[in-house]
């Protein structure tokens, strides 16, 4: 019993987080920046932050993750980090030659009060930013929000830096895919292409963090949103932002900056949410839904109807990031699974309402929660399956509840990088995982005489 | 790759034996903007103290520092596991403005009441110093109120490198050492410093010494209990294994308690054997210890030699690259790799010092690249140039090796089997062998005959 310390009785805690269900902003910013082609994320803070983020992303993606750091010292913390950042910008362009440096702050540089705009301007004045190269930025204090906020801030940083409204509207649709896996970003692009919609998807970590084995180490893999496209995003007809928390701020900023109207949808996880996405894409792009997509949808519905008896009445507990959880809770409800507990580490007042809107009013919902609290909920009301990141495995083991790995980070299984959970195909993968979990458990626990061959 | 530039500031930190005049620059802070593999002060303290299983570890700072260090180190416990939980004061914006000391007090107080740990470590992270929280006084107050040592680990990330974090951890440990009752400690007792019980290694080593008739008084910090550390000053000798992290504590104990220390390594046959004989030599008044040590060594070596030779035959002439935390480990690995017939073509470390690199140069072959604080580009370039068959390193190096299409062995926190001791040597050989000889390398581009056949468009 690894978590034998978790008592059933729930007490209010204000000063303490036990077993966090979130991490800090900078890692989300680093992940978002990796979704720009030839971009080197840069952590403006101590060396440890950058090492931790790179290690965490490496464990999750099993890919090299590159990022620079300002390597703060005591001097920098007294006199400010300007000198470090100027030196870093100069070193990075000279040696690593990226097209973009995406600087994010840390709790340290934020508390010192470094002004990134001013430092970046100074770097430009001093000729440290070569022609055609960019330094973009996001403020990501670790003591505000979570990794999801950091992602949202860096995506907004991309919008602040690149899109230009030339006055010539195109029929292109911008899609901001949200804090999802490279596989999901690829799937979202595929769906748009299948519909015949010209789309600019950013950030796009596909072929960056799920690249093929190439026999050589490349600092800048082939994927990532291209600068030329990011600039053109200012002329697009509309923006679809997937996930209000991760993508909403950037979409609104793009509307304000370039007058590109935006629609903010839930992440296309599950049938209902994917339907909404496909429908908006169809209307905004002025296209028809092709047979191929209709078939994918039909296939996943076919599998669900074939197996609905196994979902009926099963209960689930979910922990993870807010945008993901809302869509997942909706999907589970749609297929007949009762969602009982939903916990996110990220603070947000609307979260409870969003979940209850899709999963019903009597679900236990908590924003700014942690694993300890989640475990207590489960101790008070046991469920049949759990969804969460790798850290959920302690609870899964102690309470003997099957776990479906979903979210970030996943350190102990693979597949999430390459196989989507977004779209109809993603729904098919989720259904398969859920069924396997339920049926494996049924097989394991079945009495000998009730052990079934055909299920 | 040939036009890869080494950062101007870093030129002194790379050396090729036989080519360059040796004057390796090290112990310097990484150049700003460098994609370094190094970490921070907090990281150093956290990895050293984390394995103390019956202590409470509370990270005072924003959530990240606690989240990234939650149970990532494979240090095994034979009992308590409160150290595997992640506790954080999760500082928010208002705390940064108004100070977090009250929050810290409340958090620590409630945790101590709930878990009744034998000691508590409170880690300061970057901003704690900046916002001026008086962590020391919170610790003092809690120590008085709760009747357990509540120790401030002064580990603000920016105050140096990981090495400085080791030092902060040693300072924290030094506060515990000497506070326990040593009346029950037998004379032939040692402490093992810098052994963290990854994959159960401390248990293996402990057993060797037990069979020699040497009592292991405290392992610091692998599978450690607070009580062991408190009575660490009862031992006759400190045996320091991970020299980078723990020499400082050994020096403090030498000065304060007149306990001498020796440096050892438990990796590889040669170094493992020395580690036993050196301890036996220390207790020269009891010659039977040396006799028993010989029996242990003979039995252990005999048990693994047959299988080792098999790997040696197959691995002969294969090339290895090393990139490890401390340089001392690199020596052992070079020797261990020679035992299984392999040549080392690159040896690097995050935190080696001048003497380490001098020694490294001495035992390296001509043409070996020696490197301090490497970045991925440099690693990849030298691995490719020197045609290494395997990289031995840690989490951030693993995918680089696999992208290039060579084998990998984790000799860091994520090792899956014990690599220390004699059985560890065998595990190491097995792991190196299975990775170097894996059939999957036939699919990587340099060996993949099919890869080119894509047909004409």
- Taking contacts as CB-CB distances below 8 angstroms, the residues of chain B near A94 are 5
pLDDT digits (tens, 9 = 90+) for B360-401: 888 888 889 998 878 888 899 999 999 999 999 988 899 999
Task: Tell how many helices (H) and how many strands (E) occur in chain B.
Answer: 17, 14
- CB of A90 within 8 Å of a chain B CB? The answer is yes
pLDDT of residue B455: 72
CB-based contact A217 B63, cutoff 8 Å: no
Residue-level length of chain A:
455
**Sign of the alpha-carbon dihedral angle for B449, B452, B454, B455:** negative
- Taking contacts as CB-CB distances below 8 angstroms, the residues of chain B near A222 are none
Query: Which of B155, B176, B197 lies at the terminal end of a domain, its last residue?
Result: B176
**Does residue B23 lie in a domain region?**
no
**Does residue B26 lie in a domain region?**
no
Chain A from 231 to 290: CB within 8 A of any B CB? none
Q: Which of A4, A47, A211, A319 to mutate to test the interface with B (most CBs of B within 10 A)?
A: A47
- CB of A9 within 8 Å of a chain B CB? The answer is no
CB-based contact B62 A143, cutoff 8 Å: yes
The Cα–Cα gap between A253 and A250 comes to 5
Q: What is the mean pLDDT of chain B?
A: 91
The Cα–Cα gap between B116 and B99 comes to 27
Q: Which domains does chain A have, with CATH numbers?
A: 25-144 (3.40.50.1980), 173-290 (3.40.50.1980), 293-449 (3.40.50.1980)
Q: B204 and B150, same structural domain?
A: no
> Residue B29: which pLDDT band, with cuts at 50, 70 and 90?
low
CB-based contact A23 B126, cutoff 8 Å: no
- CB of A51 within 8 Å of a chain B CB? The answer is yes
A80: Cβ contacts below 8 Å, ≥ 6 apart: A112, A113, A114
Structural domain for B70, as ranges = 41-176
- Taking contacts as CB-CB distances below 8 angstroms, the residues of chain A near B377 are 96, 217, 219
CB-based contact B33 A22, cutoff 8 Å: no
CB B234 within 8 A of CB B189: yes
Beta strand spans in A112-172 (E): 134-138
pLDDT of residue B446: 84
Of residues B273, B275, B279, the one with CA closest to residue B294: B273
Report the DSSP beta bridge partners of residue A135. A101
B127: Cβ contacts below 8 Å, ≥ 6 apart: A107, A108, A111, A143, B61, B62, B91, B96
- Taking contacts as CB-CB distances below 8 angstroms, the residues of chain B near A26 are 64
Predicted confidence (pLDDT) at residue B406 exceeds the cutoff of 80? yes
> How buried is A90 (Cβ within 10 angstroms: 0-12 exposed, 13-18 middle, 19+ buried)?
middle
Q: Which SS3 state, helix, strand or coil, does residue B315 take?
A: helix
Q: B75 and B98, same structural domain?
A: yes
Of residues B388, B411, B370, the one with CA closest to residue B15: B370
Q: How many CB pairs under 8 A join A and B?
A: 249
CB-based contact B403 A64, cutoff 8 Å: yes
- CB of A80 within 8 Å of a chain B CB? The answer is no
Number of domains into which chain B is organized: 3
> Residue B2: which pLDDT band, with cuts at 50, 70 and 90?
very low
Could you tell me the CATH number of the domain that includes residue B350? Answer: 3.40.50.1980
- Residue of B107, B129, B376 lying closest to A217 (CB–CB): B376
- Taking contacts as CB-CB distances below 8 angstroms, the residues of chain B near A215 are 403-405, 444-446
Nearest CA of chain A to the CA of B119: how many Å?
A: 17
Q: B351 and B283, same structural domain?
A: no
Mean pLDDT of B77-102: 94
The Cα–Cα gap between A368 and B60 comes to 18
Chain A from 334 to 373: CB within 8 A of any B CB? 345
**Phi, psi angle pair for B410, to nearest 5°:** -80, 115
- C-alpha separations of B426 from B75, B207, B295, B333 in Å: 20, 17, 19, 13
Q: Could you say which DSSP state residue A105 is in?
A: E
**Does residue B344 lie in a domain region?**
yes
Nearest CA of chain A to the CA of B159: how many Å?
A: 5
- Residue of B84, B399, B445 lying closest to A63 (CB–CB): B399
**Does residue B7 lie in a domain region?**
no
CB-based contact A48 B130, cutoff 8 Å: no
- C-alpha separations of A366 from A247, A370, A378, A387, B199 in Å: 21, 9, 13, 15, 37
The Cα–Cα gap between A124 and B185 comes to 66
pLDDT digits (tens, 9 = 90+) for B274-296: 999 999 999 999 999 999 999 99
- Residue of A22, A72, A95 lying closest to B5 (CB–CB): A95
The Cα–Cα gap between B44 and A238 comes to 49
Q: Which SS3 state, helix, strand or coil, does residue B124 take?
A: strand
Q: B435 and B326, same structural domain?
A: yes
pLDDT of residue A8: 92
**DSSP class per residue in B138-194:** HHHHHHHHHSS-EEEE---GGGS-HHHHHHHHHHHHHHHTT-S--TT--SSEEEEEE
- Residue of A47, A58, A87 lying closest to B399 (CB–CB): A58
Chain A from 207 to 236: CB within 8 A of any B CB? 211, 213-219
Question: What's the token pair of residue B22?
Answer: 């040796």
The Cα–Cα gap between A341 and A359 comes to 10
What's the distance, CA A431 to chain centroid?
20
Q: B45 and B135, same structural domain?
A: yes
CB-based contact A87 B32, cutoff 8 Å: yes
Nearest CA of chain B to the CA of A295: how many Å?
A: 30
pLDDT of residue A40: 98
Q: B400 and B419, same structural domain?
A: yes
**Does residue B9 lie in a domain region?**
no
Give every residue of chain A whose pLDDT is below 50, as ranges. Answer: none
Give the H/E segment covering residue A176.
strand A173-176
The Cα–Cα gap between A29 and A154 comes to 5
The Cα–Cα gap between B233 and B222 comes to 17
The Cα–Cα gap between A345 and A235 comes to 36
Residue A2: CA atoms inside 13 Å, Cβ hemisphere, count? 21
Q: Strand B369-372 and strand B343-349: pairing? A: parallel
Strand order in the sheet with B261-263: B215-221, B189-195, B237-240, B261-263
CB-based contact B396 A84, cutoff 8 Å: no
- Residue of B5, B92, B400 lying closest to A64 (CB–CB): B400
pLDDT of residue B1: 35
> Residue B23: which pLDDT band, with cuts at 50, 70 and 90?
low
Q: B317 and B277, same structural domain?
A: no
CB-based contact A107 B82, cutoff 8 Å: no
pLDDT digits (tens, 9 = 90+) for B158-169: 998 888 999 999
- Residue indicated by tokens 């007042």: A349
The Cα–Cα gap between A181 and A416 comes to 7
The Cα–Cα gap between A304 and A308 comes to 6
- DSSP H helical segments within B269-397, as ranges? 269-282, 287-315, 327-339, 354-363, 376-385
- Residue of A40, A63, A143 lying closest to B92 (CB–CB): A143
Tell me the pTM: 0.95
Question: What's the token pair of residue A237?
Answer: 């007809």
CB A176 within 8 A of CB A242: yes
pLDDT of residue B160: 87
Of residues B418, B391, B243, the one with CA closest to residue B331: B243
CB A427 within 8 A of CB A300: yes
Query: Which of B274, B297, B320 lies at the terminal end of a domain, its last residue?
Result: B297
Nearest CA of chain B to the CA of A312: how many Å?
A: 35
- Residue of A40, A72, A111 lying closest to B131 (CB–CB): A111
The Cα–Cα gap between B126 and A50 comes to 13
CB-based contact A91 B67, cutoff 8 Å: no
**Does residue B96 lie in a domain region?**
yes
Report the DSSP beta bridge partners of residue A41. A102
Q: Which of A6, A8, A29, A48 to mutate to test the interface with B (most CBs of B within 10 A)?
A: A48
CB-based contact B110 A13, cutoff 8 Å: yes
- CB of A94 within 8 Å of a chain B CB? The answer is yes
Neighbours of B145 (CB within 10 A): 12
Q: B401 and B312, same structural domain?
A: yes
Q: B221 and B156, same structural domain?
A: no
Q: Which of A44, A64, A414 to mutate to test the interface with B (most CBs of B within 10 A)?
A: A64
User: Could you give the angle at which helices A271-285 and A423-445 cross, rounded to 10 degrees?
Assistant: 170
**Sign of the alpha-carbon dihedral angle for B407, B412, B418, B423:** positive
Of residues A318, A319, A320, A324, the one with CA closest to residue A338: A318
Report the DSSP beta bridge partners of residue A42. A68, A103
Mean pLDDT of B44-66: 96
A406-434 exposure pattern, b = at least 16 Cβ within 10 A, e = fewer: bbbbbbeeeebbebbbbbbbbbbbbbebb
Q: B255 and B137, same structural domain?
A: no
- C-alpha separations of B365 from A43, A207, A380 in Å: 38, 39, 63
Strand order in the sheet with B319-324: B14-16, B369-372, B343-349, B319-324, B390-393, B407-410
pLDDT digits (tens, 9 = 90+) for B128-147: 989 999 999 999 999 999 99
Q: Which of A41, A141, A143 to mutate to test the interface with B (most CBs of B within 10 A)?
A: A143
**Does residue B18 lie in a domain region?**
no
Chain A from 105 to 144: CB within 8 A of any B CB? 106-108, 111-112, 141-144
Nearest CA of chain A to the CA of B140: how many Å?
A: 19
Residue-level length of chain B:
457
CB A28 within 8 A of CB A54: no
- Residue of B32, B40, B62 lying closest to A70 (CB–CB): B32
- Taking contacts as CB-CB distances below 8 angstroms, the residues of chain B near A50 are 36
Predicted confidence (pLDDT) at residue B92 exceeds the cutoff of 70? yes
Q: B200 and B161, same structural domain?
A: no
**Does residue B448 lie in a domain region?**
no
- Residue indicated by tokens 């790997």: B311
Report the DSSP beta bridge partners of residue A240. A175, A263
- Residue of B106, B130, B400 lying closest to A217 (CB–CB): B400
Q: Which SS3 state, helix, strand or coil, does residue B89 take?
A: coil
- Residue of A16, A88, A143 lying closest to B107 (CB–CB): A16
Of residues B56, B119, B116, B118, the one with CA closest to residue B89: B56
The Cα–Cα gap between B415 and B407 comes to 14
Q: B46 and B150, same structural domain?
A: yes
CB-based contact A42 B95, cutoff 8 Å: no
**Sign of the alpha-carbon dihedral angle for B305, B307, B308, B312:** positive
Nearest CA of chain B to the CA of A98: how many Å?
A: 12
CB-based contact B87 A14, cutoff 8 Å: no
Neighbours of B451 (CB within 10 A): 13
> Residue B74: which pLDDT band, with cuts at 50, 70 and 90?
confident
Share of chain B above pLDDT 70, in %: 93
pLDDT of residue B415: 86
CB-based contact B90 A142, cutoff 8 Å: no
């Amino acid at each position: 019993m690894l978590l034998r310390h978790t008592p059933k009785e729930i007490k209010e805690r204000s000063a303490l987080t036990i077993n966090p269900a979130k991490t800090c902003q900078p890692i989300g910013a680093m992940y978002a920046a990796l979704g720009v082609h030839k971009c080197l994320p840069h952590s403006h803070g101590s060396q440890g932050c950058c090492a931790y983020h790179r290690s965490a992303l490496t464990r999750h993606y099993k890919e090299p993750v590159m990022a620079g750091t300002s390597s703060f010292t005591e001097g920098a913390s007294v006199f400010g980090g300007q000198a470090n950042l100027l030196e870093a910008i100069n070193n990075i362009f000279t040696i690593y030659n990226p097209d973009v440096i995406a600087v994010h702050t840390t709790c340290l540089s934020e508390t010192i009060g470094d002004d990134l705009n001013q430092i970046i301007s100074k770097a430009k004045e001093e000729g440290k930013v070569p022609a055609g190269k960019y330094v973009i930025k996001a403020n990501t204090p670790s003591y505000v929000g979570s990794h999801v906020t950091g992602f949202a801030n860096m995506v907004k940083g991309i919008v602040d830096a690149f899109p230009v409204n030339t006055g010539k509207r195109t029929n292109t649709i911008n899609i901001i895919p949200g804090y999802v896996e490279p596989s999901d970003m690829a799937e979202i692009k595929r769906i748009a292409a299948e519909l015949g919609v010209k789309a600019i998807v950013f950030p796009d970590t596909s072929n960056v963090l799920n690249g093929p084995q190439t026999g050589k180490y490349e600092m800048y893999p082939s994927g990532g949103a291209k600068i030329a496209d990011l600039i053109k995003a200012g002329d697009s007809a509309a923006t679809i932002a997937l996930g209000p928390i991760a993508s909403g701020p950037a979409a609104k900023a793009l509307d304000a900056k370039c007058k590109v109207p935006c629609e903010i949808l839930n992440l296309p996880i599950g049938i209902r949410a994917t339907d909404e996405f496909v429908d908006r894409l169809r209307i905004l792009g002025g296209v028809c839904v092709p047979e191929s997509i209709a078939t994918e949808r039909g296939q996943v519905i076919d599998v669900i109807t074939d197996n609905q008896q196994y979902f009926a009445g099963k209960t689930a507990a979910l922990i993870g990031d807010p945008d993901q959880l809302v869509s997942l809770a909706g999907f589970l409800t749609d297929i007949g699974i009762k969602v009982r507990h939903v916990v996110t580490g990220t603070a947000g007042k609307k979260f409870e309402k969003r979940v209850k809107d899709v999963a019903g009013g009597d679900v236990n919902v908590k924003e700014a929660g942690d694993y300890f609290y989640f475990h207590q909920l489960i101790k008070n009301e046991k469920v049949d399956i759990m969804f969460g990141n790798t850290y959920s495995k302690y609870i899964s083991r102690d309470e003997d509840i099957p776990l479906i790995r979903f979210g970030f980070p996943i350190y102990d299984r693979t597949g999430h990088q390459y196989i989507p959970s977004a779209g109809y195909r993603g729904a098919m993968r989720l259904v398969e995982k859920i069924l396997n979990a339920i049926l494996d458990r049924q097989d394991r626990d079945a009495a000998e005489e009730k052990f079934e061959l055909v299920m | 790759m040939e036009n890869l530039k080494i950062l101007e500031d870093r030129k002194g930190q790379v050396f090729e034996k036989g080519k360059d005049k040796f004057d390796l620059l090290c112990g310097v802070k990484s150049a700003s903007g460098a994609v370094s593999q190094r970490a921070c002060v907090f990281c150093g303290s956290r990895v050293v103290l984390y394995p103390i299983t019956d202590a409470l570890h509370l990270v005072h700072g924003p959530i990240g520092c606690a989240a990234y260090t939650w149970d990532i180190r494979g240090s095994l416990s034979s009992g308590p596991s409160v150290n595997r939980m992640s506790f954080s004061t999760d500082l928010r914006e208002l705390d940064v403005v108004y100070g977090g000391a009250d929050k810290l007090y409340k958090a620590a107080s409630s945790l101590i009441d709930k878990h009744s740990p034998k000691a508590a470590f409170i880690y300061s992270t970057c901003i704690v110093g900046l916002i001026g929280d008086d962590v020391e006084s919170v610790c003092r107050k809690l120590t008085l109120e709760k009747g357990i040592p509540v120790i401030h680990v002064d580990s603000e990330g920016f105050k140096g490198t990981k090495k400085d974090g080791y030092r902060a951890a040693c300072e924290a440990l030094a506060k515990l050492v000497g506070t326990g009752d040593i009346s029950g400690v037998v004379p032939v007792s040692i402490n093992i410093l810098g052994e963290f019980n990854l994959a159960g290694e401390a248990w293996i080593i402990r057993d060797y010494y037990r069979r020699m008739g040497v009592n292991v008084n405290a392992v610091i910090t692998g599978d450690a209990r607070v009580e062991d550390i408190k009575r660490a000053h009862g031992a006759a000798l400190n045996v320091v294994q991970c020299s980078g992290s723990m020499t400082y504590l050994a020096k403090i104990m030498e000065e304060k308690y007149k306990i001498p220390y020796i440096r050892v390594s438990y990796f590889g046959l040669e170094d493992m054997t020395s580690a036993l004989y050196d301890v036996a030599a220390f207790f020269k008044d009891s010659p039977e210890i040396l006799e028993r040590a010989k029996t242990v060594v003979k039995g252990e070596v005999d048990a693994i030699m047959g299988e080792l030779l098999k790997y040696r035959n197959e691995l002969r002439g294969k090339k290895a690259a090393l990139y490890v935390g401390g340089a001392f480990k690199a020596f052992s690995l070079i020797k261990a790799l020679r035992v299984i017939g392999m040549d080392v073509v690159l040896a690097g470390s995050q935190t080696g010092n001048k003497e380490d690199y001098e020694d490294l140069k001495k035992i390296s072959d001509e043409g070996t690249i020696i490197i301090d604080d490497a970045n991925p580009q440099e690693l990849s370039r030298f691995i490719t140039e020197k045609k290494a068959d395997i990289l031995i390193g840690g989490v951030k190096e693993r995918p680089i090796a696999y992208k290039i299409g060579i084998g990998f062995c984790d000799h860091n926190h994520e090792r899956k089997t014990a690599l220390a001791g004699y059985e560890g040597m065998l595990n190491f050989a097995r792991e190196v062998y299975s990775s170097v000889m894996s059939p999957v390398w036939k699919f990587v581009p340099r060996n993949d005959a099919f890869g080119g056949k894509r047909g004409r468009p």
